[in-house]
Amino acid sequence: MIRATDLRKHFRVHKRPPGLAAAVRSLWHRKYETVKAVDGISFAIARGERVGFLGPNGAGKTTTLKTLSGLLHPTSGTVEVEGHTPFRREGAFLRQITLVMGQKQQLLWDLPPADTFAMNRALYDVPVAQFDATMKELTELLDLGPLVTKPTRQLSLGEHMKCELACALLHRPTTLFLDEPTIGLDVSMQLAIREFIRDYNQRHEATVILTSHYMEDVVALCPRVIVIDGGRLIHDGDLRGLIKTMHPGKLVSFTLTAPMADDELARLGAITREGNRVVVQIAEAALREAVGHLLASASVTDLSIEDPPLEVVMRALFKDGAAPATT
Amino acid sequence: MSLRSTARAVPQLLRTGLAETVAYRAEFVVWMLTTTLPLVMLGLWTSVAADGEFRGYSSPDFVAYYLAALIVRNLTGSWVVWQINDEIRRGILAMRLLRPVHPFVAYAASHVAAVPLRGLIALPVTVILLATTARDSLTHDPLQIALILPSLAGAWLLTFAFLFGLGCLAFFIDKSMALLDVYFGVFAVLSGYLIPLSMLPSWLPTVARWLPFRFMLSAPVEVITGRELGAGGAAQLVALQWGYAALILALALALWRAGVRRFEAVGG
């Protein structure tokens, strides 16, 4: 169980205007500003849940993750992870968690990943038999193969991230904090990592907390999302619920095989048109009738019905700044 | 993590540290070349003493002193201050903090692992030179010879703990590396790295005798060369050195604890 109660993390930041005069003035007269990176958020996450943290840059997602993993001391409020207070960083706590940050590495740069794996085995005091079994499992799931004996500096970004993930999971943590784990990876590698995370979650009943700018990661992995903006929690609940609240209705896409006037289409809902391809946003109550009407029309083909993309929902959410009802 | 688990991790940390040292071989050799100041001073002072003793030092005394200083410097020098500073400033210290072994142990193990290789490069030539050109300026007392290793270990720990503490200042000061230049200036003079402490002017030798810097370099050199010490004096010196090492280590770890509370784990 992870529980944060009225969690706050404020930073004191030195501010000065640009220019030489301001630089000289700041020698004896420094101005500081308090940045409220996390400003009173509360949530509880049960064992085995997969939760996505969403929010624009600087929203406070990574700060929350760092506080949950014990890297940062909260300014106020309480945090509890599997019965531990994270910032105390007790051995028993550190052995239960892992934090993967897409932009930071723990692999030793000039040595093959196998050397870092061996070091982590010793640091986490993992029995050799368990280490061998885990290594076998991770090699299979992540298709590591010969990568582990190649110098880390010679690995591609995708190979590197796979090895980072393996390294972070060697001690079989039960709580995974994943901060942008697919950043910079190509689509097929993103897919592989996503599948791996879901599989690990199911095999080990591990709790997964994920932040990602790739909405596909969140959609594919996280039934529940916590949305943070300006350090405050603005939504905590079902991902579909968020989409429905922010963007009621469905997107119906189809291709026109014969011309059809925009006025006629606009009767169904808000339309977006690109050549013959049309997307109409239709309210759920009117969906059945509208789709029936479209299918009956001889000039419509290739029709599909989808939820609005999460990117669109998030854009609307952060543009409006309006907090939807927390579920 | 328990002490037993930490102890079990140390052999692997040493192996990894050695593998890293070998991987960074070019950087390693360059770093070793930067510790050759004693050789420059050796050339200078042996020519000063060519016509007779200078301030109580004959030419072989200077050879013994500076070659011993070279050995001590090579075996006890540390780059941990750059490492910590860089890791704090770039936020990558986060990865160390997430591991269940105190980062001090991990840093120390990786530095200890480099010592055998440094010894392998620095010791053969210097020991042969010492034995052939300055044999009479070295101690022959077996008890004092037995204290050489503990004094080298004490100097290593004291230097490492001091520089670890200095590195921790990056938690509090943005440009803490500027202090390293101040440290190195003070160290060069008050540790005996530049000239033997007894040759310092006026009241400085008295002050230097009681400051920690002496125990980082001059103390093991004094044990090796045996000037005015004797086994009893050498034992007292080593005891004082280990006392200083324990004190500085405690201060450095306190600084670490206070610093980690302020760590902002920037980036990412």
For residues A278 and A158, state if they share a domain. Answer: no
Q: Which domain holds residue A232?
A: 2-7+40-243
The verdict on A253 and A205 lying in the same domain is no
Question: Is A320 domain-assigned?
Answer: no
- pLDDT tier at B98 (50, 70, 90 boundaries)? very high
The torsion angles phi and psi of A13, rounded to 5 degrees, stand at -120, 135
Out of A71, A106, A111, closest to residue B265 by CB = A71
Say whether both A149 and A236 belong to one domain.
yes
Query: Do A179 and A202 sit in the same domain of this protein?
Result: yes
In 3D, which of A245, A243, A100 has the Cα closest to residue A178? A100
Q: What local confidence, expressed as pLDDT, does residue B90 receive?
A: 84
A230 and A199 fall within a common domain: yes
pLDDT of residue A241: 80
A104 vs B contacts (CB less than 8 Å): 91-92, 94-95, 267-268
**Mean pLDDT (10-residue bins), chain A, 327 residues:** 94 78 74 87 95 87 92 94 93 93 80 93 93 90 87 87 90 93 81 88 93 84 91 88 77 85 79 85 83 81 82 72 44
Q: Identify the pLDDT of residue A321.
A: 53
Q: Is B172 on the interface with A (CB under 8 A)?
A: no
- Note whether B16 contacts A: Cβ–Cβ < 8 A: yes
Query: How many angstroms separate the CA atoms of A214 and B158, rounded?
Result: 49
- Position B222 scores a pLDDT of 94
CB pair distance less than 8 Å for B265 and A66: yes
Bridge partners, A175 (sequence order): A97, A207
B227-231 — which CB contacts under 8 Å span 24+ positions?
Answer: B227/B61, B229/B139, B229/B144, B230/B141, B230/B144, B231/B141, B231/B143, B231/B144, B231/B147
Q: Work out the number of other CB atoms within 10 angstroms of the CB of residue A187.
A: 10
- Asked whether residue A24 is domain-assigned, the answer is no
User: What is the predicted pLDDT for the residue at A323?
Assistant: 45
CB of B100 less than 8 A from some CB of A = yes
Give the closest of A11, A99, A119 to B98, CB-based.
Answer: A99
Residues in B touching A123 (Cβ below 8 Å)? 9, 12-13, 99-101, 106
- Within 10 angstroms of residue A235's Cβ, the number of other Cβ atoms is 23
Question: In the structure, how many helices (H) and strands (E) does chain B have?
Answer: 14, 0
Tell whether A316 is covered by a domain. Answer: no
Sort out which chain B residues have CB atoms less than 8 A from A62's CB and list them.
268
CA distance B175 to chain A (A): 14
- Residue whose C-alpha is closest to residue B226's, from B123, B140, B130: B140
Read off the pLDDT of residues B238-264 as tens digits, 9 standing for 90 and up. Answer: 999 999 999 999 999 999 999 998 887
Picking from A165, A157, A163, A158, the residue whose alpha carbon sits closest to that of residue A144 is A163
* Overall average pLDDT of the B204-227 stretch: 92
Contact B244, B212 (CB under 8 A): yes
What is the pLDDT, as a whole number, of residue A313? 75
Q: Which residue(s) pair with A280 in the sheet?
A: A252, A271
Q: Which residue of A has its CA nearest to B110?
A: A119
Taking an 8 Å cut-off on Cβ atoms, the answer to whether A125 and B24 are in contact is no
Contacts 24+ apart (CB under 8 A), B234-239: B234/B139, B234/B141, B234/B143, B234/B144, B234/B147, B234/B151, B235/B143, B235/B147, B237/B151, B238/B147, B238/B150, B238/B151, B238/B154
Distances (CA, A) of A165 to A48, A66, A102, A104, B23: 18, 17, 10, 12, 24
A231 lies in the same domain as A263: no
Question: Are A202 and A57 members of one domain?
Answer: yes
Q: What is the pLDDT of residue B1?
A: 59
Cβ burial B22-49 (10 Å sphere, 16+ → b, else e): ebeeeebeeebeebeebeebbeebbeeb
> Which among A71, A122, A124 has CB closest to B13?
A122
Q: Does B23 touch chain A (CB under 8 A)?
A: yes
Within-domain flag for A279: yes
Q: Which residue in A has a C-alpha nearest to residue B92's C-alpha?
A: A104
> Which of A225, A243, A261 is the last residue in one of the domains?
A243
Is B267 a residue whose pLDDT tops 70? no
Least confident of A51-55, A321-325, B108-112, B223-227: A321-325
d(CA B81, CA B84): 5
- Residue A52 resides in a domain: yes
- A156 and A206 share one domain: yes
pLDDT of B5 > 50? The answer is yes
Domain CATH code at residue A225: 3.40.50.300
Residue A185 tokens read as: 């990876």
Q: Which two tokens stand for residue B266?
A: 């920037």
Distance (Å, whole) CA A16 – CA A25: 9
Q: Which residue has the higher pLDDT, B60 or B33?
A: B60
Residue A53 in contact with residue A64, Cβ under 8 Å?
yes
Residues A45 and A188 in one domain: yes
Q: Residue B174's pLDDT band (boundaries 50, 70, 90)?
A: confident
Expressed in angstroms, the distance from the first to the final Cα of chain B is 27
Out of A197, A227, A243, pick the residue that ends a domain: A243
Measured between beta carbons, the chain B residues lying within 8 angstroms of A102 are 268
Cβ distance A72 to B100 less than 8 Å, yes or no, reads no
Same domain, A78 and A185: yes
Same domain? For A278 and A216 the reply is no
Q: Which of A224, A243, A262 is the last residue of a domain?
A: A243
Q: Do A62 and B268 touch (CB under 8 A)?
A: yes
Residues A148 and A131 in one domain: yes
With beta carbons less than 8 A apart as the criterion, state whether A4 and A64 touch.
Answer: yes
Residue A2 contacts residue A81 (beta carbons within 8 Å): yes
Q: Does B11 touch chain A (CB under 8 A)?
A: yes
Q: Could you give the number of structural domains in chain A? A: 2
